[in-house]
Amino acid sequence: MAILRAGPWWSGNQALDAGPSTWDDEGPDGAPVNCADKDWLNQSWEGRSDYELFSSSTGTNEIGGKTFSLDQYVETGTDGFAFLAFGFYWQATNDFDIKQTVETFADSGFGDWSVILSTIEDGEVFNYFNTIGGIGTQTETFTLPATTLGFANFFMAEQAGQDEDDAKIKSKLESA
Amino acid sequence: MATQAELDKEQNRTKSLSGTIGKIDLGGGVYDLNTRPDDNKEGVDERIQNDGIDVITNPLGGGGGGGGGGGGNFELDVVDDDGNAARASFTGGGII
């Protein structure tokens, strides 16, 4: 059975207008609602990305974000600690796969990568955790189930080594 | 005691009936509301139990049904059964 579109954005239990063209501080409420890994007829697929950088030497932190497309890399700046999160809602009548690539840059860095998928029908349906860090790239493919409305969260963080500030995260999502 | 679901069902049914009645020409067909029952056409009683099955001389024209809403066409985005973004068209009838 077909699913009526929600959105364009969604937050909590209500639809929101399309996301902002600029991103102030912690950004807007909500996240885009997508048709699986495809474009709507009048709106391209988009996700929400948020980042945070922290310098232990200066005690300063920087936050921000933007929307992104499938197959588009998003990267943080470089500092003592780097955090990057992707989020989007999806609606799908069939299961589909999303492949994520995560790249880290700190010589002696360490961190973690987690993915949580939730649906309105079944709550949290998938929870993934892996360690990342150092100089390298990892990829993983996740299956997002059919749902009238689901929410996907991808978290990545890297902590640089002692007295170093070369932590950085770069990542993208793509159809698989 | 009727449940809320039963009450809702009955309300929807009566709404549907009122929509259907709106399609019938009450002036010159089976039953004229502006006259006394005795003046109505031969063989047509005001009470159905007194006359069996009425002969409908002015059948519903052009579809009936529908009810409220006032018609109008509109489109909504959907995810279709194949998992693709699509646009569903709704014609006439409207939504109550």
- pLDDT on residue B19: 38
pLDDT in tens, B36-68: 445 445 555 555 455 544 444 544 444 444 444
Domain annotation covers residue B61: no
| CB neighbourhood size of A174 (10 A) | 16
Beta strands in chain B (DSSP E): 74-79, 85-90
Domain annotation covers residue B51: no
Nearest CA-CA distance, residue A144 and chain B, Å: 12
Average pLDDT over residues A115-136: 96
Domain annotation covers residue B80: yes
Domain annotation covers residue B91: yes
Name every chain A residue with its beta carbon within 8 A of the beta carbon of B83: 35-36, 38, 92-94, 96, 146
A97 pLDDT more than 70 = yes
Domain annotation covers residue B55: no
Number of structural domains chain B divides into: 1
Nearest to B85 among A1, A38, A96 (CB): A38
Nearest CA-CA distance, residue B74 and chain A, Å: 14
Q: Which of A18-22, A37-41, B75-79 has the highest mean pLDDT?
A: A37-41
Domain annotation covers residue B1: no
- pLDDT on residue A125: 97
Q: What is the pTM of this model?
A: 0.72
The domains found in chain A, sorted by start residue, are 33-175 (2.60.120)
Q: Which of A101-115, A136-150, A156-170, B31-45 has the lowest mean pLDDT?
A: B31-45
Name every chain B residue with its beta carbon within 8 A of the beta carbon of A32: none
Domain annotation covers residue B70: yes
Range of the domain at B93: 66-96
Average pLDDT over residues A141-169: 96
Domain annotation covers residue B85: yes
List the single residue in A with minimal CA-CA distance to B75.
Answer: A4
Contact at CB, A93 and B77, closer than 8 angstroms: no
Contact at CB, A2 and B80, closer than 8 angstroms: yes
A1 pLDDT more than 70 = yes
Contact at CB, B88 and A2, closer than 8 angstroms: yes
